[in-house]
Amino acid sequence: MNRFVFVHQLVVVRARLSEAMVVGKANSMEHGATLDDSRSGSSFTFTGRLRSMRFAMRGIRTMLASQHNAWVHAGSTAVVIATGFILRVDRSDWCMLILAMMAVWTAEALNTAFEFLCDVASPEFHPMVAKSKDVAAGAVLLSAIGAAAVGLLVFVPHLTRIF
């Protein structure tokens, strides 16, 4: 890639990110924030926290609506919780299971946000964007493998006692 093409791509990405930031600021103002609120961060009110929770819940709904793997995680979460209750795992096992499930959900949410940002910054295919999306998806896979290992460590001893 020659220097001109590279610089041109940087300018295009910067312009798209600037546009996304303007749209994001407009969206935050649409949700009741003012320019002063978004800059200063000094507005800490109960209603502001409720509004933030509403935005967070909308983000979770967006993740569930747009990501097929989120449904796989939801099913796995339901199975783990049901199995934990059926096997009557102790408090420390619950802590490990909850941390493992939250690691997967957090990785999936960050991956989803990252994909949305990449799609804004580079709507057309770009090999570096594809690589970065692959790395983010790999982080979700790593957390899911770790969660499966925790599940085995917790559940196998309980299951071997039953069978």
CA torsion sign for 100, 102, 103, 104 is positive
Q: State the catalytic residue, choosing from 19, 30, 108, 115.
A: 108
Q: Is 108 part of the annotated catalytic residue set? A: yes
Q: With helix as H, strand as E and coil as C, how does the chain read? A: CCHHHHHHHHHHHHHHHHHHHHHHHHHHHHCCCCHHHHHHCCCCCHHHHHHHHHHHHHHHHHHHHHCHHHHHHHHHHHHHHHHHHHHCCCHHHHHHHHHHHHHHHHHHHHHHHHHHHHHHHCCCCCHHHHHHHHHHHHHHHHHHHHHHHHHHHHHHHHHHHHC
Positions marked active-site:
108
